[in-house]
């Protein structure tokens, strides 16, 4: 069954006449009759009673009328929905779980101010999930970690044709202003032993951090395992624990301390799929790279 045959059938049922239906459809009457005959042969029933001045639906025709109407309504609905995709392009942006919501919201809102016709979907995930999402086409672009290395590592980072650096952050110890460490200029890793600690379980540094602490026989007292950055920030501010986390400039009610024997930094950037030919992705990546990230930079 073809859609044009359904349209022929509905037009005849509405006009009650093959000749008037042919006029409305801008067809010759023989072409219309041939289309309906093929439909009836496929369905194995007669849809119309021929003869007389008015074409009348058979019992099978009346039954098929309801189904044909639904078919055409669904087709029109699909057209409308797809037209919406054309009128309002959608950009699916994957966001690292250890990014701050406020900073991403500022980027997205500023981009949409310049591109009001674009709808943006945000998908937060871990580093591995973002990689999978890009490879499988579930997201179009990812704001993610490009590298995690000691700050003293001066080796040249591989320049990728599918990524661009946005900013860099050292990993320091975050404490509340009332914590005894807050008066210090720096801290040693061993001093974290038995301290109330907040694990950042979705952090790309989490497994490496655990290995470093275990190797040094340092065992902080884990009081919370947080999956998102905003939880970590709020818990540290409340004085419920301390955490090793990226340095976010401008945060109030948090004191950051360099760890003298744990000197790492992460590079945050934007990634996209290789050979992805999308003007929208290109526009977003170019905009993100020129965005004011000063409040987050080291």
Three-state secondary structure string covering 207-248:
HHHHHHHHHCCCCCEEEEEECCHHHHHHHHHCCCCEEEEECC
Domain assignment present for residue 32? The answer is yes
DSSP symbol at 183: G
Show which of 36, 71, 87 is a domain's final residue: 87
CB burial readout 126-161, b (16+ within 10 A) else e: bbebbeebbeeeebbbbbbbbbeeeeeeeeeeeeee
Beta-carbon contacts of 171 under 8 Å, excluding residues fewer than 6 positions away, are 205, 244, 245, 246, 247, 259, 262, 264, 265, 266
DSSP symbol at 156: P
pLDDT of residue 1: 75
With a cut of 70, list the residues of the chain below it in pLDDT: 52, 83-87, 153-160, 294-298
Domain assignment present for residue 28? The answer is yes
Domain assignment present for residue 47? The answer is yes
Show which of 87, 103, 133 is a domain's final residue: 87
Q: Within this chain, do residues 272 and 140 fall inside the same structural domain, yes or no?
A: yes
Show which of 87, 106, 141 is a domain's final residue: 87
Burial of 223 (0-12, 13-18, 19+ CB in 10 A): middle
Q: Identify the domain containing residue 15 by its residue range.
A: 3-87
Terminal alpha carbon distance of the chain: 64
pLDDT of residue 185: 95
Q: Within this chain, do residues 139 and 200 fall inside the same structural domain, yes or no?
A: yes
Q: Within this chain, do residues 225 and 138 fall inside the same structural domain, yes or no?
A: yes
- Which residue bears the tokens 């404490």? 175
In the chain, how many domains are there? Answer: 2
Burial of 30 (0-12, 13-18, 19+ CB in 10 A): exposed
Burial of 17 (0-12, 13-18, 19+ CB in 10 A): middle
Other Cβ atoms less than 10 A from the Cβ of 199: the count is: 20
Q: Within this chain, do residues 166 and 62 fall inside the same structural domain, yes or no?
A: no
Is the overall model pTM greater than 0.75, yes or no?
no
Spatial distance between the Cα atoms of 32 and 52, rounded to a whole number of angstroms: 18
Whether 233 contacts 252, CB under 8 Å: no
Token reading at 232: 């970590």
CATH code: domain of residue 66: 1.10.10.10
pLDDT of residue 157: 53
Q: Within this chain, do residues 139 and 10 fall inside the same structural domain, yes or no?
A: no
Domain assignment present for residue 265? The answer is yes
Q: Within this chain, do residues 114 and 226 fall inside the same structural domain, yes or no?
A: yes
Domain assignment present for residue 296? The answer is no
Q: Within this chain, do residues 121 and 59 fall inside the same structural domain, yes or no?
A: no
Q: Within this chain, do residues 77 and 182 fall inside the same structural domain, yes or no?
A: no
Whether 181 contacts 257, CB under 8 Å: yes
CATH code: domain of residue 270: 3.40.190.290
Domain assignment present for residue 297? The answer is no
């Amino acid at each position: 069954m073809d859609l044009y045959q359904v349209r022929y059938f509905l037009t005849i049922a509405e006009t009650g006449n093959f000749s008037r239906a042919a006029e409305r459809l801008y067809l010759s009457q023989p072409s219309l009759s041939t289309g309906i005959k093929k439909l009836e042969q496929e369905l194995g029933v007669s849809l119309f009673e021929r003869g007389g001045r008015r074409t009348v639906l058979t019992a099978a025709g009346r039954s098929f009328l309801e189904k044909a109407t639904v078919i055409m309504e669904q087709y029109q609905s699909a057209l409308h929905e797809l037209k919406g995709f054309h009128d309002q392009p959608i950009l699916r942006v994957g966001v690292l779980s250890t990014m701050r919501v406020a900073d991403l919201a500022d980027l997205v809102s500023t981009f949409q101010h310049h591109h009001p016709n674009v709808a943006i979907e945000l998908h937060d995930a871990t580093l591995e999930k973002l990689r999978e999402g890009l490879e499988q086409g579930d997201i179009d672009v990812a704001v993610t970690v490009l590298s995690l290395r000691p700050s003293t590592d001066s080796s040249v980072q591989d320049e990728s044709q599918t990524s661009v650096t946005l900013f860099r952050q050292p990993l320091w110890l975050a404490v509340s202003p009332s914590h005894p460490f807050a008066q210090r200029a720096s801290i040693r890793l061993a001093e974290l032993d038995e301290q109330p600690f907040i694990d950042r379980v979705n952090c790309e540094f989490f497994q490496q951090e655990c290995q470093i602490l275990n190797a040094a026989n340092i065992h902080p007292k884990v009081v919370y395992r947080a999956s998102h950055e905003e939880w970590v920030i709020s818990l540290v501010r409340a004085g419920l624990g301390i955490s090793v986390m990226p340095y976010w400039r401008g945060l109030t009610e948090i004191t950051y301390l360099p760890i003298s024997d744990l000197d790492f930094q992460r590079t945050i950037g934007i990634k996209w799929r290789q050979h992805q030919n999308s003007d929208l992705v290109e526009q977003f990546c170019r905009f993100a790279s020129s965005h004011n990230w000063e409040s987050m930079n080291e």
